[in-house]
Structure 1
Amino acid sequence: MALNHDTRDAQARDGRTVTVLGLESSCDDSAAAIVRRHGDGSVDILADAVIGQNSEHAPFGGVVPEIAARAHAERMDTLAAGVLAEAGLTLADMDAIAATSGPGLIGGVMAALMTAKGLALGADKPLIAVNHLEGHALSARLTHTVEFPYLLLLVSGGHTQLVRVDGVGEMTRMGSTIDDAAGEAFDKTAKVMGLGFPGGPAVEALARTSTDPQRFALPRMLSRDRGCDFSFAGLKTAAKRAFDSLETPTQADKADLAAGVQREIARHLAERAGRAMDIFADSAGENAKGLTLVVAGGVAANGAVRDALELMAGSKGFTLIAPPLKYCTDNAAMIALAGAERFVLGRIDGLDAPARARWPLDETSAAANPASGAGRKGPKA
């Protein structure tokens, strides 16, 4: 029988304090963290370390999977040892070892997962295989009191989706991108203009210098669609055409185009999130109190996106909650927290837990209606 929200929250606050080592390596950030989750749901981040790979990938204008996997494999042991030393703890003090088990670049995913398996086996500790997206979904609970249910906008370089979060492992997709993710639109626009990698922060910084953000005619994506899905491919193509039409692009040209693209991305995200908020509030009915929109993922660090979402959330009677910027991008603290939440509920994994390139939060919806089509390994979205 399904548990109601009060029962789930009571289970989560069962008085136990658990300490979990988390490891993350799904893309191009190698990370380790130790999180202590208290019985009342509050969280202490005892140690947290992230090593990026921007310099390794910058010459290629994007993440090279083989380079990323090699870097992760070389760093995970040292990172795990480093956060244990920083926290003044040993593996014996851990209640469990958590690691990203997917989705992501499979070579990278394997680095954290195999390291965690080795540590769990050697220290005789439980292993928690964490869905990286669930880490993002729960990341706001690192620093805020966020009760279930809430609406999540997960927006990053690889994922853009709206999800109803009813509990740990209980998530229902309300909308997803039908082509590219928002972060990819930022990165590809930056690449076209030669702004370097990663593209999102470069576009945002350049957009601040624009004097005419409405100068370029850019499309409004899915303007006739009344659902909650997203599309960014058309905007990405239009930005390239606009840039290519400039005979000798100046810095001012680039700034205006960057501002225009950023403006359309922020507007599209806010519009679709607004529709999801209406649906979420209607389903809550008379219990529609304390309505919360959580935004997570790397693109959540973008100021224009946050401003647009803040405005939309306020107009819908929702409170917008976003993790601190360093917990919007990939990190291991969110993986450790997701591991702790699962451990408290008794959700332990075996040492045969697989690394997964694709792992949707709502597997039922993804299988029945894959928003981005299906590939050899299953639904892409």
Structure 2
Amino acid sequence: MLTLGIESSCDDTAAAVLQDDSTLLSSVLTSQDQIHTRFGGVVPELASRCHLESIVPVVNESLKRAKITISDIDLIAVTQGPGLIGSLLVGFSYAKALSYISKIPFVGVDHMAGHILSVFLEEDKPEFPFIALVVSGGTSSIYRADTFTKFTLLGRTRDDAAGEAFDKVAKLLGFPYPGGPVISHEAQSGDNEAIQFPRSWLEKGSLDFSFSGLKTSVLNHCNREKQKNNPLQLADICASFQEAAVEVLVEKTLLAASQQSIQNIVLGGGVSSNPRLRQLMERRCSEDGKKLHIPRPSYCTDNGAMIAIAGVHSHRENSEFSYDLDVYSRSAL
């Protein structure tokens, strides 16, 4: 079975061809970072226009690299939500049109399901049930995954997502967009104990996140240093901020695993590419006797392969499809 996966939820246009549910034949992505950098963040209107320009070339290139044609495809899987409505509509409308013309069934995929299941693109696959931490610019959530299609939300951010906090802190420090990778790079030469930024644990036993207070603490620290005419120690600020954010992400994930009596933990989403998050999660899982599964960075960021694998399992459970389906901005998971 060959599945074409299409992703256009935000500012990356991606497509991939997956054979069965394990063999990736191609994965193509075009980024809009250069376009949005000058604005300090994603501009929805520009993002959707860029998707319109990229969707056909990206899909065609994915088919070319897989050495097949559209007539060889058995299923089209496409991101249905959550995300920017204008961006989602480009990929979703294209997938429906391609399905209708080619008479190939299609399935709408929840973006969060794609991130949760992206780990199954690796050889080392987790056993169910597992705890999944999904962290990106749009979400910070903890799920319990019992099957390929059954997910239970255990905790989520109450304000800024982790990736959003990284980008906002980077902006106030004068770094370009996207800011997460820049902060991670700067933090490598900094002292993560130099500044004691707060950790937001919320209520006892809570698995929710809150990063707005941490972001404000960084802003206040910078303002105090400027009032004293002290130069900002950017590396130390980045390292201390990153440590505060990562520590909460790790500890709450382990708390979820303890509460649910689950041994397997999975990371997903763009922020799970962060080296410090991976390092600390690996250490804490080892200390607590948990088994950790992390996809390679290219599977953590938005990609067509994760949509394809989620679509395969969704289609196996329910093969019916309708052209009346529409996109959604918020996840139902």
- Is 1:244 the counterpart of 2:244? The answer is no
| Matched residue, 2:125 | 145
| Contact 2:144–2:154 (8 Å) recurs in 1 | yes
| Matched residue, 1:271 | 251
Measured in 2, the distance between the counterparts of 1:279 and 1:311 equals: 20
| Matched residue, 2:147 | 167
CA offset at residue 92 of structure 1? Answer: 1.4
| Contact 1:22–1:336 (8 Å) recurs in 2 | yes
Residues 219-269 of structure 1, C-alpha deviation per residue, up to 9 Å, x if partnerless? 12126532211111100000111112222564x611110000000011111
Q: Which sections of structure 2, spanning at least 5 residues, go unmatched?
A: none
| Contact 1:134–1:338 (8 Å) recurs in 2 | yes
CA offset at residue 311 of structure 1? Answer: 1.9
**Selected match of 1:316 from 288, 292, 301:** 288
Counterparts in 2 of 1:202-213, with a 5 A limit?
A: 202-210=182-190, 212-213=191-192
| Matched residue, 1:337 | 309
SS at match of 2:277: helix
Measured in 2, the distance between the counterparts of 1:30 and 1:205 equals: 25
Measured in 2, the distance between the counterparts of 1:219 and 1:161 equals: 20
SS at match of 1:246: helix
| Matched residue, 1:29 | 12
**Selected match of 2:325 from 353, 361, 364:** 353
Deviates more, 1:241-250 or 1:322-331: 241-250
- Is 1:45 the counterpart of 2:24? The answer is yes
| Matched residue, 1:102 | 81
| Contact 2:166–2:183 (8 Å) recurs in 1 | yes
| Contact 1:243–1:249 (8 Å) recurs in 2 | no
Normalising to structure 2: TM-score of the pair? 0.96
CA offset at residue 55 of structure 1? Answer: 0.5
> What amino acid is aligned across from residue 238 of structure 1 in structure 2?
S
> What amino acid is aligned across from residue 311 of structure 1 in structure 2?
R
Measured in 1, the distance between the counterparts of 2:36 and 2:168 equals: 14
| Contact 2:202–2:208 (8 Å) recurs in 1 | no
Deviates more, 1:307-316 or 1:99-108: 307-316
Measured in 1, the distance between the counterparts of 2:325 and 2:297 equals: 31
> What amino acid is aligned across from residue 317 of structure 1 in structure 2?
G
CA offset at residue 316 of structure 1? Answer: 2.5
Measured in 2, the distance between the counterparts of 1:112 and 1:148 equals: 31
Measured in 2, the distance between the counterparts of 1:249 and 1:103 equals: 43
Runs of 4+ in 1 over 3 A off after TM superposition: none
**Selected match of 1:92 from 42, 51, 71:** 71
Change in 2 beyond 3 A, CA 1:338/1:224: closer
**Selected match of 2:171 from 170, 191, 212:** 191
| Matched residue, 2:159 | 179
SS at match of 2:79: strand
Normalising to structure 1: TM-score of the pair? 0.84
Residues 96-152 of structure 1, C-alpha deviation per residue, up to 9 Å, x if partnerless? 111001100000001110110111011101011000110001000011322321110
| Matched residue, 2:270 | 298
| Contact 1:278–1:316 (8 Å) recurs in 2 | no
| Matched residue, 1:256 | 236
Residues 199-227 of structure 1, C-alpha deviation per residue, up to 9 Å, x if partnerless? 110000001111x3222231121265322
| Percent of pairs with identical residues | 37
| Matched residue, 1:368 | none
| Contact 1:277–1:316 (8 Å) recurs in 2 | no
Q: Would you say how many aligned residue pairs link Structure 1 and Structure 2?
A: 330
Change in 2 beyond 3 A, CA 1:249/1:125: farther
> What amino acid is aligned across from residue 90 of structure 1 in structure 2?
T
Measured in 2, the distance between the counterparts of 1:235 and 1:225 equals: 19
Deviates more, 1:45-54 or 1:84-93: 84-93
Measured in 1, the distance between the counterparts of 2:319 and 2:126 equals: 21
Measured in 2, the distance between the counterparts of 1:133 and 1:249 equals: 43
- Is 1:215 the counterpart of 2:194? The answer is yes
Measured in 2, the distance between the counterparts of 1:92 and 1:71 equals: 27
**Selected match of 1:201 from 181, 189, 201:** 181
Counterparts in 2 of 1:117-132, with a 5 A limit?
A: 117-132=96-111
CA offset at residue 343 of structure 1? Answer: 2.2
